[in-house]
Each structure stands twice: as C-alpha cells, then as structure tokens.
Amino acid sequence: MSMRVGVVGYGYWGPNLVRNVASQRAMILAMVADGKEERRQKVREAYPHLSVVADGEELVTNPLLDAVIIATPVATHYPLAKLALEHGKHVLVEKPLCISSEQARDLIALANKVGKTLMVDHTFLFSPPVTAIHKILGSGNLGELTYYDSTRINLGLFQSDVNVLWDLAPHDLAIMDYLIGEQPVAVEASGFAHFHPERLDIAYMTLHFASRKMAHFNLSWMSPTKVRRVILGGSRQMLVWDDLQQAEKIKIYNSGVEFMNDDQRYELTPGYRIGDIYSPQVGQKEALAGVMDHFVQVSRGQTPSLMDGEAALRVILILEEAQQKLMAEQTRLSRLYRGNHP
C-alpha cells in the first residue's frame, strides 16, 4: 500500500521534495502547506488536483496522512515534527533536524515512544559520488585515512534564520559522519560577519579525532566563485571529489609522502611519490530520489536508517560546539576591534 504524504513548505527546497514525492511509486502526494499565497498558487498550477493549505499544523495533524516532510525555517522544525509524531506520522525533516541537541533528543525519544520513523534529509548520503567514495574507503585502497578537507563556498544564498555554519555545514558533517564514522574529540572554529553582526557569513571549522585524523571545513556565502570540493588523504592514495564537474567528479591520485630516516643528517626526509590518476565511473541518479526510497523502506521496517535522529544528533552536537567556539571568538575579536578603533 502506498504511503500518503504531505509536504510542509514550498520555498527553496520544497519544490524538489514535492516533485520527488509525486514521482515515487510507493508514495501518494496528498497535501502541501505553505504560508505564502504566491507559493500556494504555484503548487495549484503544477498539481491542480492536490489539496493545498496555508497552515502547516493543519497538514501535520491531518488523519488521512501517513507521513509528513518538513521543509520550513529551522526554528519551526521542532514544533512541527513533534506535532506530527504525536499524531502518528512518519517524519522526514530538512537539515538540520532542529536548533539544539535538547530538541533533537526530545524528538528521538518521542519517535521511539510512538514507534514512528524520524529522519533528517541528509541528501548527499544518497548522491552517487558519496556512495562511490564510501565503497572506495571500504575497499582499503586509500590506506589509512589521515585527513578530510572540505570546501563549500559561494556568493549567497544568505539565510534569514541561520548563519553560514548551520546552513552549509550540516551537508558536510553528515557526509563526514557517514564516511569516517567517528565523533571528534575536539572542535575549533572561527568566522566573520560582514553584513549582520549576529549572523556569520564565513566560517572555518577544524575537527580532531582520537584516531589522529583531522577534518577541516571552509564555509562561505562571500565567495565570488562556487566551489564544492572534498579531498581525502590516505596513507596510500588521495581522493578528490569535485561535485561541480560534469564528468570525472572523483579522481584518485596514486600519490603520497613517505618519510625516510636520513642517517647522515639525523632527521626525517620526505620522499614524494607521484603516480597515476584514476577516475572511477559515477552514476547519475538524483540523490533526493534515493532519500525518498530510503524513507519508504525505513518506515516499512525493511532497512535500518542512515539518516535517523541519532545521525542528526551527531551533526547537531558538532554544530553546537562549533557555535560556542565561534561566539567566544567573536567576543574576543570585538574587544580587539574596539581597542583599535576608539
């Protein structure tokens, strides 16, 4: 039996969610809610026979729905998801799941209590490049992973409810969590707000792991160019994923650095190994279609979730610690700015 689904929010990401629900055989798109009339009109034009309402709460409490997908401002995720779970719905929420680890833990406990699926839309986990990288890491061909370097920068889109850290980092933290499978033991963060004093538009985050791995993230709404690139350094090989490339999104470099003891100078001398470059074949399936398939399977109890509340919580815990470091850094820097500008 197909799952009757409602989508709350038809802004930036909502149309993609609605389109994928409508094309999913195991789902029936039954209702869409959005507070803006111009958006509701777009839904009516695209889906003439669909029920369209203004109130998100009306949708998530509708007894005819089996599941709801929430794509609204981050501050509304928690109350809408909680209400949906209380009314017996399976719930998929746009990233991040909510604005605090306390809220995340509450939703996890509630989902377990009512026996319903709670998932966060970490879309990139179903992108063909991430699937391919996961297999490559599992094969051991890269050797021991030593570092993870991510760049996600562009000019805008400036968000009104979250800073650049909470907007962009959830993508990369979810990917890192899936690929590395470790929680960091230390978090460093710095950033700057050019336009809004309380909303950073550039952020840098560095994570340290007990296994001596390191991960670094460059996040920006202030770059003149758009970059989506991840570099994985292994003890045998190195991998570069450039998601903006149409072809050869992944390249594996048979290159590295080997340290050899120099008996004459009694110091470590690096030996550089430059080898072939290999680009594996990567599929073209839309990641969001994979999310919808997974949501159905998890809701039916057919497979464990890759994007459950616990996965969302791990991301939020890192975001919270990074946010605390950013706030402390901004306080320290503001004192220095005042000192130089009497």
Per-residue pLDDT for 243 more than 90? yes
Per-residue pLDDT for 260 more than 60? no
Per-residue pLDDT for 319 more than 80? yes
Domain with CATH 3.30.360.10 in the chain: 125-286+319-330
Position 259 scores a pLDDT of 47
Q: Where are the alpha helices (DSSP H) in the chain?
A: 14-23, 37-46, 56-60, 74-86, 101-114, 128-139, 164-180, 287-299, 309-340
> What's the mean pLDDT when you consider all of the chain?
91
Residues contacting 316, CB < 8 A, separation 6+: 96, 97, 98, 100, 101, 104
Per-residue pLDDT for 258 more than 60? no
Q: Tokens at residue 6, please?
A: 């409602």
Residue showing tokens 């430059």: 274
Reported confidence tier of residue 159, pLDDT bands at 50, 70, 90: confident
Q: Are 164 and 202 in contact (CB under 8 A)?
A: yes
Position 268 scores a pLDDT of 54
What is the arithmetic mean of pLDDT over 5-33? 97
125-286+319-330 is classed in which CATH architecture?
2-Layer Sandwich (3.30)
Q: Are 8 and 60 in contact (CB under 8 A)?
A: yes
| Beta bridge pairs of residue 331 | none
| pLDDT tens by residue, 184-235 | 999 999 998 888 777 889 999 999 999 999 999 999 999 999 999 999 999 9
What is the arithmetic mean of pLDDT over 160-179? 93
Distances (CA, A) of 182 to 175, 177, 209, 282, 314: 12, 6, 7, 26, 10
What is the arithmetic mean of pLDDT over 24-45? 97
What is the arithmetic mean of pLDDT over 80-102? 97
Task: Report the distance separating Cα 168 and Cα 152, nearest Å.
Answer: 7
What is the arithmetic mean of pLDDT over 277-299? 94
Lowest mean pLDDT among 71-75, 213-217, 251-255: 251-255
Residue whose C-alpha is closest to residue 164's, from 205, 201, 122: 201
Per-residue pLDDT for 256 more than 90? no
- Given strand 3-8, what is the order of strands in its sheet? 51-53, 27-33, 3-8, 67-70, 90-94, 118-121
Position 160 scores a pLDDT of 78
What is the fold of 3-121? Rossmann fold (3.40.50)
pTM above 0.85, yes or no: yes
Per-residue pLDDT for 109 more than 80? yes
